[in-house]
Structure 1
Amino acid sequence: MKKNKVDIITLGCSKNLVDSEQLMRQFTANGYQVEHDSENPNGEIVVINTCGFIGDAKEESIDMILQFVQAKKKRKIGKLYVMGCLSERYVSELREEIPEVDKFYGKFNWKELLGDLGKSYDQNLALERTLTTPQHYAYLKIGEGCNRTCAYCAIPIITGKYQSRPMDEIVEEVKGLVAKGVKEFQVIAQDLTFYGLDLYKENKLAELIERISDVPGVEWIRLHYAYPAHFPMDLLRVMRERDNVCKYLDIALQHISDSVLSRMRRNVTKGQTYELLRAMRREIPGIHLRTTLLVGFPGETEQDFAELLEFVREMRFERLGAFPYSEEEGTTAAKEFTDDIPFEVKQARMDELMTVQERIAGEISQAKIGQTLRVIIDREEEDFYVGRTEFDSPEVDPEVLVSKDKPLQIGELYPVLIENADVFDLYGIVK
């Protein structure tokens, strides 16, 4: 193992990634060499930032912990620490089951790790991070926790009530990141559309996005994850009027059947959902909508699923992900409903849904042929430069493969003529 070296492993969502980046900056300030998601972790200290959202994510986190327990036994690493959502929720059980871990921290008390190592947390660096993303984009977390009461979701159990970050603090962080070369911001929270209600007693998302948009050097702002109930409609004006606010919105809808939405405790109806989406399409021409749908929720009938399929066919979402229902202990759904739909049925429904969506996505991609789109270059590969349009978020959305007939700079934006397309990627040349 390497002395004075820290390996940080991040599992789960981009909100976890921001926490890891903040921790990395603190370790660096205390004189450590820090690596993130290294292919060969060999540090004196290893920190695993876990996810505890659904069954598969919890299993991945536990497998990762056990893998490093073995590495510790073989003296390939030194101290092993665990933080994040899984240990926030199951800290007592984890301590008992995996005593080889030197200490477990939750999602919010990871700063104590530095003190336990005899180091100090530098409050002056609270807005600084060691970016693990390419230097031209960053995730910007504007709040933590969730006040919604969706029946299937364990996140409020893990993270507690919604806590908005102060606007001034967020804008200051954006300015600091821009000074380091960041041009594109993925604005994230468990629920963007609750922003400000706790801190300012009114929704402040539109004002916040305007203030971020006003910062010189901010080229793109992309919004993840909205909630349909009580959506702040003034945000649509900001998205329409501001050129650097991407015509892109990630809004998790989960279902469309009124009976399913009611049992899910989504506090929105089928009619309200259609009305909201039509308003978005009308107010922001060309907007690309990403959504997430959940199939196989307890009691979902064939008619409910047929409604969902028709909804997807009619709304033609540009981006869509789907998941089979997974019962999570402690949730309302786990307490009140029986998980009565066989996994095979859930999987078949998800496959059918994604087949419909794949055809729609392919048609939407084909329609872009002949258009010239603004593309930010993320990386260079052997045969292409790889970039994204304003309609594509990193890691989850299609990419643009750009011809190498001209030398391009990573992190720069170029006008790209789209010459070809498939379901997952666009192909083009710089004009």
Structure 2
Amino acid sequence: MKKINVVTLGCSKNTVDSEHLMARLAAAGYEVLWDSDRTDAKTVVINTCGFIGDAKQESIDMILRAAEAKKAGRIERLFVIGCLSERYADELRAEIPEADDYFGARDWDGIVRALGAAENPELATSRHLTTPGHYAYLKISEGCNWKCGYCAIPLIRGPHVSVPMEVLEEEARKLAEQGVRELIVIAQDTTYYGVDLYGKRMLAELLRRLCRIGGIEWVRLHYAYPTGFPDDVIETMAAEPKICKYLDIPFQHIADNQLSAMLRRHTKAEAMELIGRLRRAIPDLALRTTLLVGYPGESEADFAELEAFVREVRFERLGVFAYSEEEGTHSALHLRDDVPEEVKQNRVERIMALQRDISLENNRRRVGRTERVMVDSRQGDHYVGRTQYDSPEVDQEILIPAAGRRLLRGRFYDVKITAAADYDLYGEPAVK
């Protein structure tokens, strides 16, 4: 069989795109490999990221390595797709002409045709999974309408476009038939789902339908925009036992002047009110957020307000990034990048030091509890699992000693938590 190697960089939304492409390639007779440097595949497809500076550089470095492999005769064909080539296709063609062609994030039919794969509508909901077989991402929409000041996604991916509900249900059923037990619902803004198709936000209804699919035991929600957060989503999360008590809701900042400069369309008071509503309705909710420091105009007072916010809310999960100017965005066009790099990095470190202490305190309170754990893998002397409060790859894990027992990947076990570290828990299977 013809072999093809698909290399995916960037976020989980890119992962879903690659998996759809790989299903089409497999149907066209390719033996599909992914993210492998040790392969004799003569055709390579690189799905790039163009979101922030580090991710763009990683994508460029990967293209350059593949171009060198082509010049050396180790591969014969090289195609580049995704966000980086959506924004910079002309520049990439000029600088790295070794690639056979460049296709953007919205030109999947182009790469399919170039590789001789089928444009069969029946394959629209098929996936060739690259995640462990027991969990998968479900991308429910493309693009974004919010146009936050720092974000290039609307420039790359275009406006918000929802996937029809019946298409998502069919895709989820196929994933369940393949053995998927956890669906991780993703989009640039999941709460906006359905506005373009149905005239109103329909995420709650979609979640209820996904919960009715046999075989699916966990439904996890990522990337929820705070503004206009739907009440019925909170009610559904509280009522549906299959929905993980977990929510990824990037607040980015809390100082009102920073929120305004970022074009975030909500205030500090509105953010705090939403957090209160969520925690009252779902008392055991694990909140994950992302923060952005060093945005143009961020003063020491703004940052102190952000630190106080982290101390008060005590997020269960938190990530923080230093601002980097992205070409074409509102902040790049209209604001001066006036916070020194060393100040940005110092603020990142201060937030993460604060969060490390909060995470350790939160974890210590869980020692002695018995929780339902999904086993993801075995690494060395431990099985590695997660509770409903943790998403794969980005959150903490529960480590279970492997000696004297056999646990199965993708299965659920009741585990008693015996010890805590800042970003890990340790446990033993509960004796029944």
Which TM-score band (shorter chain)? over 0.9
Structure 1 unpaired stretches of 5+: none
Aligned to 1:31: 29
Aligned partners of 2:299 and 2:115: how far apart in 1?
Answer: 54
Aligned partners of 1:212 and 1:400: how far apart in 2?
Answer: 27
Aligned partners of 2:65 and 2:379: how far apart in 1?
Answer: 31
Task: Normalising by structure 1, report the TM-score.
Answer: 0.98
Aligned to 2:263: 265
Aligned partners of 1:108 and 1:129: how far apart in 2?
Answer: 18
Do the aligned residues in 2 keep the contact of 1:406 with 1:430 (CA within 8 Å)? no
Secondary structure, aligned partner of 1:199? helix
* Equivalence map 1:137-286=2 (5 Å): 137-286=135-284
Deviation, 1:121, is 2.4
Deviation, 1:40, is 1.2
Q: Could you list the per-position Cα deviations for residues 70-115 of structure 1 after superposition, in whole angstroms to 9, with x for gaps in the alignment?
A: 0101111110000000001111111111111100001121232232
Do the aligned residues in 1 keep the contact of 2:49 with 2:56 (CA within 8 Å)? yes
Aligned to 2:421: 422
Do the aligned residues in 2 keep the contact of 1:144 with 1:189 (CA within 8 Å)? yes
Aligned to 2:128: 130
Aligned partners of 1:410 and 1:52: how far apart in 2?
Answer: 33
Q: Could you list the per-position Cα deviations for residues 374-414 of structure 1 after superposition, in whole angstroms to 9, with x for gaps in the alignment?
A: 00011122311111000010000001111224311111000
| Partner residue of 2:328 out of 327, 330, 343 | 330
Do the aligned residues in 2 keep the contact of 1:373 with 1:418 (CA within 8 Å)? yes
Equivalenced residues, count: 429
One-letter amino acid of the structure 2 residue matched with residue 177 of structure 1: L
Aligned partners of 2:152 and 2:267: how far apart in 1?
Answer: 22
One-letter amino acid of the structure 1 residue matched with residue 139 of structure 2: K
Aligned partners of 1:205 and 1:152: how far apart in 2?
Answer: 26
Aligned to 2:407: 408
Aligned partners of 2:107 and 2:323: how far apart in 1?
Answer: 30
* Equivalence map 1:385-400=2 (5 Å): 385-400=383-398
Q: Could you list the per-position Cα deviations for residues 132-181 of structure 1 after superposition, in whole angstroms to 9, with x for gaps in the alignment?
A: 01111000000000000211101000011000011111111111111111
Deviation, 1:244, is 0.5
Do the aligned residues in 1 keep the contact of 2:144 with 2:153 (CA within 8 Å)? yes
Greater Cα shift, 102-111 or 349-358? 102-111
One-letter amino acid of the structure 2 residue matched with residue 145 of structure 1: G
Aligned to 1:366: 364
* Equivalence map 1:58-77=2 (5 Å): 58-77=56-75
Secondary structure, aligned partner of 1:266? coil
Does 2:123 align with 1:120?
no
One-letter amino acid of the structure 1 residue matched with residue 132 of structure 2: P
Secondary structure, aligned partner of 1:206? helix
Secondary structure, aligned partner of 1:64? helix
One-letter amino acid of the structure 1 residue matched with residue 417 of structure 2: I
Aligned partners of 2:384 and 2:260: how far apart in 1?
Answer: 43
Deviation, 1:233, is 1.5
One-letter amino acid of the structure 2 residue matched with residue 407 of structure 1: R
One-letter amino acid of the structure 2 residue matched with residue 234 of structure 1: D
Aligned partners of 1:119 and 1:204: how far apart in 2?
Answer: 34
Do the aligned residues in 1 keep the contact of 2:28 with 2:116 (CA within 8 Å)? no
Deviation, 1:27, is 1.1
Do the aligned residues in 2 keep the contact of 1:41 with 1:77 (CA within 8 Å)? no
Aligned partners of 1:343 and 1:409: how far apart in 2?
Answer: 46
Identity of aligned residues (%): 53
Greater Cα shift, 265-274 or 381-390? 381-390
Task: Normalising by structure 2, report the TM-score.
Answer: 0.98
Secondary structure, aligned partner of 1:226? coil
One-letter amino acid of the structure 2 residue matched with residue 79 of structure 1: R
Aligned partners of 1:113 and 1:164: how far apart in 2?
Answer: 22
RMSD over aligned CA atoms reads 1.0
One-letter amino acid of the structure 2 residue matched with residue 141 of structure 1: K
One-letter amino acid of the structure 1 residue matched with residue 346 of structure 2: A
Secondary structure, aligned partner of 2:257? helix
Aligned to 2:294: 296
Secondary structure, aligned partner of 1:111? helix
One-letter amino acid of the structure 2 residue matched with residue 414 of structure 1: Y
Deviation, 1:41, is 3.7
Which aligned runs of 4 or more in structure 1 are off by greater than 4 angstroms? none
Do the aligned residues in 1 keep the contact of 2:24 with 2:117 (CA within 8 Å)? no
Secondary structure, aligned partner of 1:43? coil
Secondary structure, aligned partner of 2:147? coil
Aligned partners of 1:117 and 1:301: how far apart in 2?
Answer: 51
Aligned partners of 1:119 and 1:330: how far apart in 2?
Answer: 34
Q: Could you list the per-position Cα deviations for residues 192-228 of structure 1 after superposition, in whole angstroms to 9, with x for gaps in the alignment?
A: 0111111111000111101101112110011010000
